[in-house]
Amino acid sequence: MEELITSHSAEQTMALGRALGGRLRGGEVLAIVGPLGSGKTHLIKGIAEGAGAPNARQVNSPTFVLVNEYAGRLDLYHIDAYRLDSVAEFEMLGFDDLCYPESVVLIEWADRVEAAVAATNPIRVILSHAGPHTRTIHITDAPEYLHVL
């Protein structure tokens, strides 16, 4: 499945995330890419909320801790690969151990660790700037049950 969505605000991006999060079943890996300020963390905040994480509003990018965990209906692991220098560093985070049927792994800056992520057949989410407050969100390789339009 492939979708192209336009968001005109951070709240719309979070609403898309809520819709995705509510449809997740577990076992998914989302490879999320986009430039700084494109809305990756807002999307993940919405996904966490939609997946039932009670602390979803506190979601922030784990740039320095590298991995945040949010428990809810599913175990969500939010990884920020921005500061990683290699795929080996990414694998040392225990990526393989985070991928199990009741978990969802959300990877910001997934393009930096593509060699490790590709083997999981991830759902790809590409965010790009389309204006001062407008973002284009391109979702590919998603199962049909994640269709949100």
- Where residue 70 sits, what CATH number does that domain have? 3.40.50.300
Report if residue 149 sits inside a domain.
no
Report if residue 26 sits inside a domain.
yes
Strands, sheet with 3-7, edge to edge from the N-terminal-most edge strand: 3-7, 135-140, 123-129, 28-33, 103-108, 75-80, 67-71
Report if residue 137 sits inside a domain.
yes
User: What is the predicted pLDDT for the residue at 147?
Assistant: 84
Rounded to 5 degrees, what are φ and ψ at 148?
-115, -10
User: What is the predicted pLDDT for the residue at 149?
Assistant: 62
Domain count, the chain: 1
Residue 80 has pLDDT above 80, yes or no: yes
Cα–Cα–Cα angle for 19, 37, 62, nearest 5°?
A: 75
Report if residue 97 sits inside a domain.
yes
Report if residue 19 sits inside a domain.
yes
Boundaries of domain holding 68: 3-144
- Counting Cβ atoms within 10 Å, is residue 42 exposed (0-12), middle (13-18) or buried (19+)? buried
Task: Specify the pTM.
Answer: 0.93
Render pLDDT for 104-149 as a digit per residue (tens, 0 to 9). 999 999 999 999 999 999 999 999 999 999 999 999 999 998 887 6
In angstroms, the CA 62 to CA 80 distance is 6
Render pLDDT for 17-38 as a digit per residue (tens, 0 to 9). 999 999 999 999 999 999 999 9
pLDDT band at 55 (very low <50, low <70, confident <90, very high): confident
